[in-house]
Structure 1
């Protein structure tokens, strides 16, 4: 699961990594939570091969995907994540996988190791970032939801996959990372069907991320400063990969 992440890079860095011709200024964000606006990158609907028009563009969407067929938003669970293994065939994500794949810029994400109560081990929050630093891209999906009153809202979610062994010590899921060389193929929903990009939805290599123990202040959405990423003494010294049931990756909408 990916329930919190951060984008500490500035607009210039994001624009360079994603080859964006124009992007509005935005502040660093250290504790992005579900239902908040998130920056995403999509293929430009104006781009033509050989033209000077931008290949990609950035926009804001609400974190929590709502499929177009939903009738009662209040009764529908908040889909902040989609499981990569089933997204191609699942009704909530099938259309977005085929037509609306996106990239979600990030500097890293937070995860919690929550051992069984009977183990006596304390829970521990981790800031998980690429060892080499910089901006990375999570694979995502987008839907524009039209309500009965005619208003529209762009919504999105992050794809997750079974964690590699390094992250599996903390949690059994992790976000899908799309590498820069694969941006165009992932975003190309015209010629690349979901089955043709399935090879991109795999765990990051074992040495891609580093996990830094941080305080539980990240649990509160009101805490938004860079100090959330300050290291603390780890409550988790060494544990085996989690064997419990996979997370449903769904939260209540209201």
Structure 2
């Protein structure tokens, strides 16, 4: 799974890096070394201009709530927290199928955290040991995701077009290589050569893009044990990425 991650850039800089339009309000999102569910995160999408379905869709950086909200939800936060979607079932599962058809995204990150059972603690239960996974060369990762646009039923009934909430989920797949020794799931890395096909708003998702990433891609990801400071969402900063001696 992927329930916590780090990203050290801001939307404006990311937009320049990938030649996208930044649609995130200034100051809303900044570097965050302990991103947690329900927080506002960056998502990269490719969309047409509003009301112009025949134009060339453009790459855009948008702000979204982490935890996809299905369209039938009656109250924000009332349903399950859909921070992850399994690649094996995402095309057919009701909560994700509509988004998989035309609302696919990329979730940028420097790396993600995962926990593995360690030695028994004072109470006899295994202590959960945090690990951080990131590219060894310091490059950025872009994970496959889905997004949804939702508004409260009352706003929908009143025709209020200002109450939309955009939300996103990160797709996970079976862990590959050494990552399987930390957890049996991992976020689905989407290489840049597949971005056009994955983000195409006018075509359904290619099932081949939902396969686990190539072994050579995963072998370039470094795994290191980090401080249990990351266990508390209130802790933040680059120190969370420091390896445990």
> Does TM-score exceed 0.5, indicating one fold?
yes
User: Which of 157, 170, 178 is the matching residue for 1:158?
Assistant: 170
Q: CA deviation at 1:120?
A: 6.9
Q: CA deviation at 1:203?
A: 3.1
Distance 1:198 1:116, change over 3 A: farther
**So what's the TM-score if we normalise by structure 2?**
0.84
Deviation sequence 1:187-240 (CA, Å, 0-9, x none): 00313x22x24334423534121111101111111101110011104xxxxxxx
Structure 1 stretch displaced more, 149-158 or 91-100: 149-158
**So what's the TM-score if we normalise by structure 1?**
0.81
Unaligned runs of 5+ in 2: 156-162
User: Which of 3, 25, 29 is the matching residue for 2:32?
Assistant: 29
Q: Distance in 2 between matches of 1:22 and 1:156?
A: 17
Q: Distance in 2 between matches of 1:131 and 1:74?
A: 37
Whether the aligned pair in 2 keeps the contact of 1:130 and 1:210 (CA below 8 Å) is yes
Q: Distance in 2 between matches of 1:22 and 1:144?
A: 18
Structure 1 position 173 matched with structure 2 position 185 = yes
Whether the aligned pair in 2 keeps the contact of 1:22 and 1:57 (CA below 8 Å) is yes
Unaligned runs of 5+ in 1: 234-254
Whether the aligned pair in 1 keeps the contact of 2:176 and 2:212 (CA below 8 Å) is no
Structure 1 position 18 matched with structure 2 position 29 = no
Distance 1:228 1:188, change over 3 A: same
Structure 1 position 207 matched with structure 2 position 210 = no
Distance 1:225 1:71, change over 3 A: same
Distance 1:77 1:23, change over 3 A: closer
Q: Distance in 1 between matches of 2:227 and 2:11?
A: 28
- Alpha-carbon RMSD across the aligned residues, in angstroms, is 2.7
User: Which of 52, 60, 63 is the matching residue for 2:63?
Assistant: 60
Q: Distance in 1 between matches of 2:73 and 2:125?
A: 42
Whether the aligned pair in 2 keeps the contact of 1:129 and 1:211 (CA below 8 Å) is yes
Whether the aligned pair in 2 keeps the contact of 1:38 and 1:63 (CA below 8 Å) is yes
Distance 1:75 1:11, change over 3 A: closer
Q: CA deviation at 1:18?
A: 2.5
Whether the aligned pair in 2 keeps the contact of 1:17 and 1:180 (CA below 8 Å) is no
Structure 1 position 87 matched with structure 2 position 90 = yes
Which residue is equivalent to 1:246?
Answer: none
- How do residues 1-254 of structure 1 correspond to structure 2 at under 5 angstroms? 1-11=1-11, 13-22=13-22, 26-46=29-49, 55-114=58-117, 122-150=127-155, 151-191=163-203, 193-194=204-205, 196-205=206-215, 206-233=218-245
Q: Distance in 2 between matches of 1:164 and 1:232?
A: 24
Distance 1:197 1:162, change over 3 A: same
Q: CA deviation at 1:31?
A: 0.5
